[in-house]
Amino acid sequence: MSDEIKKEEAPAAPAGAPVAAEGEQSVQEKARKSGKSIPAGIAFIRSTFNNTQVSIADARGGVISWSSAGKAGFKGSRKSTAYAATIVAQDAARVAVAKGMHECEVRMQGAGAGRESAVRAIQTAGIRVTQITDTTPVPHNGCRARKRRRV
């Protein structure tokens, strides 16, 4: 008998598939190897006047994917646009879909330009939106507000 150990070669990637560097794994490979599929979750959209942040979590609140306009490459006043919010939501939803998510509840916060466009982008990425809730904090005449900004 031979004491040689034969290494099995991995099957070749299909044509057009992104090739990961040696030692790296794609998002789909990581999700497949962990064996955990997350069918439903919660998408948190925080849209301010300066930025849009989207984080997608499982039902218990553990964050699966997140993105912001700064992470997507937008700088300055372009971060606050509806287009930036669309790109941000697509980026976060793409990772969630790769991990098996196909249904989510949306919780929006803030009054920025990217509220509706972020929800639309999540739907076009392949996630079915079951519920949309606005969680913007509204004061019930508690503490005294800051002085009004004069421009």
Q: Bridge partners of 20?
A: none
For the record, the structure tokens of 141 come out as 């005449």
CA distances, 59 to each of 38, 44, 84, 92, 96 (Å): 9, 12, 26, 16, 13
pTM of the complete model: 0.71
| Ordered domains of the chain (ranges, CATH) | 45-134 (3.30.420.80)
pLDDT tens column, 65-100? 999 999 999 999 999 999 999 999 999 999 999 999
User: Amino acid identity, residue 61?
Assistant: G
For the record, the structure tokens of 138 come out as 């509204």
- Residue 143 has what pLDDT? 87
- Contact between 90 and 80 under an 8 Å Cβ cutoff? The reply is no
- Residue 53 has what pLDDT? 95
For residue 64, the SS3 value is strand
Mean pLDDT for the chain?
Answer: 83
For residue 50, the SS3 value is coil
